[in-house]
Amino acid sequence: MALLPLPLLDYQRYGRQMILDGFGLSGQVKLKQSSVVVVGAGGLGCPALQYLAAAGVGTIGIIDDDIVELSNLQRQILHAESSLGIPKAESAADSAKRWALCKHIHTLELMRIRINSSIRVDVIKDRLTAQNALDILCGYDIILDCTDNAPTRYLLSDASVILKKPLVSGAAQKYEGQLVIYSLGPDGPCYRCLFPKPPAPEAAGTCEETGILGVVTGIIGNLQALETIKLLTGLHEMKPSMLLFSALGTPPFRSIKLRSRKADCVACGNKDFNLSMIMETDYVQVCGGPRPDWVQLGLANGHAGHRATVQDLKKLLDEGQTLNLIDVRPSTEFGICQLASARGVPLHELVAKPESYLPADRNTPTYILCRLGNDSQIAADALRSSRPNCEIRDVIGGLRAWSKEIDPNFPIY
């Protein structure tokens, strides 16, 4: 018998997809010979990696310089409680060849349960930068953008233009997601064609700030894997489009046809765009500077007499002093946890009519709370503009500081 193009067991492993019309043995061989790099082993990267590994992509690179935290486990499905504190790239790679403790019918035994032990996994724990991006990415056929920040998105787009490799980009926030393949074919637009101007850093909210339904990242990440498999096996129509998903929408999916790349695009429309242009670009500054550290900003002292510590607030509450204590978090967050003596007034409502939330007795102090100590400063300023020369203070560090320094049983979310 002639030499088989795949190991014998692969016919059984991948048989369910090899019998598909248009896929066949040739499609499986293409996957085995291909290489994909996933930038970001988080909510999007985890499901994408899982299905790329299961499908039999021969080489998978994982780039992530972050570590696994407890808040990741709600959506980043390749990580586990045992992964807390270790690099995400290592955790994700380990899950692609996972060890697990399984209950046998008769005995408990340690079994090696792996998604796919035959694939190669490259673990890259370095941060992707303008200086190293092309060297790292050039060895792969397709790039998956599973990140959550503008500087890296622009860097990946520029790199894909120079390397002439498709960029399968996903995004997810709250109940919504988005999927686009940039640099698709000779005329497919790049990220800069669609988004020539980056959003202000303070306007680009993270999952921690805006929230995310974990399954939404799973849907988008799985679709990234699907589009990648279609590209590698020749099943893709090669027509640029943007897929929008809304978990609460009817129907949940909507597809938008994209125009060809812009002739005046600074990247894909510029024939002289080259490596040195990428290496000379400070992508963080181009995108408006570093993303604000809201935790540290909430801990700033501010103007004398304008801010109070959680210890100050605790002392007043213990003494039984009458306070006008206002929590300006959104009503949903107020419903999660709150101090017993606080009343919830969402920030937008307070700012619209600040005078409505001041006590009739001008001698009653007003203290403002929020999650981290940032929105409370805005609220306090609005109240002072409505009633100057009264004691109006916001609490430094907000309820996060209260949990850390006063009551460790107060929830952090």
Enzyme catalytic residues: 207, 370
324 annotated among ligand-binding-site residues: no
50 annotated among ligand-binding-site residues: no
Distances (CA, A) of 325 to 243, 315, 360, 370: 45, 14, 14, 11
265 annotated among ligand-binding-site residues: yes
Structure tokens, 209: 């700030």
118 annotated among ligand-binding-site residues: no
Which residue, chain included where needed, has tokens 């909510």?
43
88 annotated among ligand-binding-site residues: yes
Number of neighbours of residue 261 by Cβ within 10 angstroms: 24
138 annotated among ligand-binding-site residues: no
Distance CA 196, CA 306 (A): 40
75 annotated among ligand-binding-site residues: yes
102 annotated among ligand-binding-site residues: no
Cβ pair 149, 163 in contact under 8 A = no
60, β-bridge pairs: 36, 121
Contacts of 17 (CB under 8 A, 6+ apart): 23, 27, 28, 55
Residue 366 identity = T
274 annotated among ligand-binding-site residues: no
Which secondary-structure segment (H or E) carries 181? strand 176-182
Strands 120-124 and 59-63: parallel
268 annotated among ligand-binding-site residues: yes
43 annotated among ligand-binding-site residues: yes
Annotated binding site: 43, 64, 71-75, 88, 148-149, 190, 193, 265, 268
Q: Which residues are annotated as a binding site for ATP?
A: 43, 64, 71-75, 88, 148-149
Pick out the residues of the known binding site for Zn(2+).
190, 193, 265, 268
